[in-house]
Chains A and B, each alone.
Chain A
């Protein structure tokens, strides 16, 4: 038997015996990655808002001091959690807390500990992404919101963050995919995700490589589906390129109906309607030619 057919045979054997364990691992990995990414994004958004509160010289001193302190805390949080390995953070939180507090503080659930560590980590990365997203929004948007009397919080929630959020979805996707893979380090606190089951299963037999192959395919499948879904979310958030007119516009002049070629009206060269029309025309032409040929 050559190597590959043996490998496939072993994979089949492993899967037949342990498929429930593998799927259980996939389930745990996905739950942890999804929950931690969502919480992490929320942490990132909060940090982003805190980091961009405007601070003018004429503001009262207490407000300025509070802002300085808040910014320092956010900065320290980002630097510490971005700058240390997640494995060690898990060890410090799960084993370190009871150790240093004489068992007064400890996590009874390994789930809670794992979610905390991964979300706090994601939050640290997202804080910077959110800051970048907020900076990338045209200052005119803020001015427009301020000009109708919105305060900083209202401006952020209603105008800036929805737009910044759209811009950082690729980053969120990045973090989500990284989380799917990197949650594997949670085995250190005996969290049983996908990779942990691999270790258990190979512990009782020596089919190490076939199991690793199953893991590879499993992780790749998860991340591919994740990327696909994230693309769909982006499309959905961008909304339709078309809109319906409600009735007649009296004031508009000929120029008022102008639309940029990229914006997708039925008349522009890149719209589906236009392509379809041209396609139809070409087919009609082709049909004519073929019938002429028959004659």
Chain B
């Protein structure tokens, strides 16, 4: 068994009286690609945002290398610098060029030198195929290009885990491929990833662990073959058949 990076223990989250997540339990080991699937409103995104502490969990623990990061006195920015996140809406910094987007975190947060940060940023921009666009502003890019820059920005921080929050849901269909290609390549190189997605093909082919969520609880989890090909629970079967019919 590989080294465990993230352990989610009995995680719950409520907005007011509305319980969005209930008793979530799962583990992410080094090199794992975990796909979180489920219908809209089932709490997938909230779960991912809790993992990155963008939402404060109501109860439960998130262990990062065995240390709880939900308690008081935890340096949340420091923790987040080890956990990259790619958003559905890209969230590139609009006031910076593509290159600056990938440099700013390294310089301000990791305190790297300008030259080293630039070289590093260029390497990852090259990796996602956005090196030619380093001088462009986010507003001048297409959705797929923005998302690839966002991936490069997250990678440039040297994260141990990369969280993807529906990275292709805001893209035009013909641009989904370019982003998924990058993600597949990353997975192949052993990057630990936690992916909320509606792309069943991606979950089946790339991930090694699938979590199916339904109404705030983990309904079923296991290998892609177990969950996607031979689901045990009726809810999972219904969800998957709805997907196939679409």
Contact = CB atoms under 8 A, between A and B. Distances in A.
- Range of interface residues on chain A? 35 or more
Interface stretch (B2-10, B11-19, B81-89, B226-234): B81-89
Interface stretch (A70-78, A154-162, A212-220): A154-162
B145 A252 contact: yes
13 contacts: A140-B90, A144-B93, A146-B77, A148-B81, A148-B153, A149-B77, A149-B110, A245-B132, A246-B132, A249-B129, A251-B130, A251-B182, A256-B145
B197 interface: no
Interface in A187-246: 239, 241, 243-246
Given A58-B72, A146-B77, A259-B142, A247 B131 contact: yes
B46 interface: no
A254 B52 CA distance: 35
A60 B140 contact: no
Interface stretch (B22-30, B112-120, B172-180, B202-210): B172-180
A163 interface: yes
Contacts of A252: 129, 145, 178
Contacts of B89: 140
Given A149-B77, A243-B136, A162 B95 contact: yes
A145 interface: yes
A146 B85 CA distance: 10
Contacts of B178: 251-253, 255-256
A79 interface: no
B109 A246 contact: no
Closest 4 CB pairs of A and B: A251-B129, A149-B81, A144-B91, A148-B105
A143 interface: yes
Interface in A242-285: 243-259, 263
A243 B137 contact: yes
Interface string B160-184: 0000000000001011011001100
Contacts of B81: 148-149
A251 B131 CA distance: 10
A162 to B, nearest CB: 4
Given A249-B130, A253-B174, 8 more contacts: A60-B72, A143-B54, A144-B93, A146-B80, A251-B148, A253-B178, A255-B175, A256-B144
B93 A150 contact: no
A147 B80 contact: yes
Given A250-B129, A253-B174, A145 B93 contact: yes
A150 B77 contact: yes
Contact of A246 (B52, B82, B134): B134
A251 B128 contact: yes
Interface string B58-88: 0000000000000010000111111011010
Contacts of A248: 132
B144 A149 contact: no
A250 B178 CA distance: 11
Contacts of A239: 137
A263 B108 CA distance: 30
Given A166-B95, A249-B131, A255-B175, A149 B109 contact: yes
Contacts of A140: 87, 89-91
